[in-house]
Amino acid sequence: MSQRKTVLATNEIYHVYNRGVEKRPIFLTRKDYARLIDLVNYYRFKDCPFKYSHFKRILYQEKMSIMKGLEDKSKKLVEIFAFCLMPNHIHFLIKQLADNGITKFMAKVQNGFSHYFNKRHDRIGHLFQGNFGATRIEDDEQLLHVNRYIHLNPVFSCIIRVEDLEGYEYSSYPEYINKRTDGFCNIQEILSYFNNLEDYKRFITDQASHTKTLENIKHLLIEEDYNFLNSD
């Protein structure tokens, strides 16, 4: 993969994505999905006191104290608006809050997950296909389309039906619709564009809009990442 040309600017929002090397699966078990979500939650902060592998081994009360301290400091590398984990690729909608924040965040998440995955599944070598991709969100329309595109990824990929989207555990959609109460995404940024939660749910699941969403995404926003995720 060629080097990413996008310069990542602080206080800008990006669609960030990567996939497994040679399109190979990067999640084989439910535990794999859960581990990456935990890494995302932990490494979005700027001053994590330990590597996650060490953090995971400490007592529950100490973990909660550390996470509360990180939240109270409000020192984040990134603000996460949405995510979706697919069998062989990942999507994030992220705002960079510190210089090089997205790069640092993705490096920690991908390196931590690769180490975990290789050890757990007895493999060696790279897990992700080189450098992650990132495309800047240029306006509100694109912000909403990308949020919808990310949440509909399991439907577009025929993993689930749109009727079952609420039950897809490996995205932020359950957090948006109050099916998950322990999430870490800033959902209010997106929900503020809608009169109520039902309007947002219709925006996501309206069957008539699915094809339009995909075409808008390809045309308006993610030619680079669409080609990246679908190229041989």
**Domain regions of the chain by residue span:** 13-230
Going by pLDDT thresholds of 50, 70 and 90, the confidence category of residue 219 is: low
Q: Domain 13-230 is classified in which CATH homologous superfamily? A: Transposase IS200-like (3.30.70.1290)
Q: Please report, to the nearest 10 degrees, the dihedral formed by the alpha carbons of residues 159, 156, 117, 31 taken in order.
A: -50
Q: What is the pLDDT of residue 69?
A: 83
Going by pLDDT thresholds of 50, 70 and 90, the confidence category of residue 1 is: very low
DSSP H/E element including 65: helix 60-73
Rounded Cα distance between 64 and 24, Å, is 35
The residue type found at 59 is L
The DSSP secondary-structure symbol of 208 reads G
Q: Is the pLDDT at 201 greater than 70, yes or no? A: yes
Most confident of 29-38, 41-50, 149-158: 29-38
Q: How far is CA 227 from CA 144, 145, 180, in A?
A: 21, 18, 32
Q: Is 173 exposed, middle or buried (0-12, 13-18, 19+ CB in 10 A)?
A: buried
- Closest to 172 (Cα-Cα) out of 101, 87, 81, 50: 81
Contact 214, 156 (CB under 8 A): yes
% of the chain with per-residue pLDDT over 70: 85
The DSSP secondary-structure symbol of 98 reads S
Rounded Cα distance between 188 and 80, Å, is 11
Predicted confidence (pLDDT) per residue in 75-134, tens digit: 899 999 999 999 999 999 999 999 999 999 999 999 999 999 999 999 999 999 988 999
Q: What is the pLDDT of residue 6?
A: 62
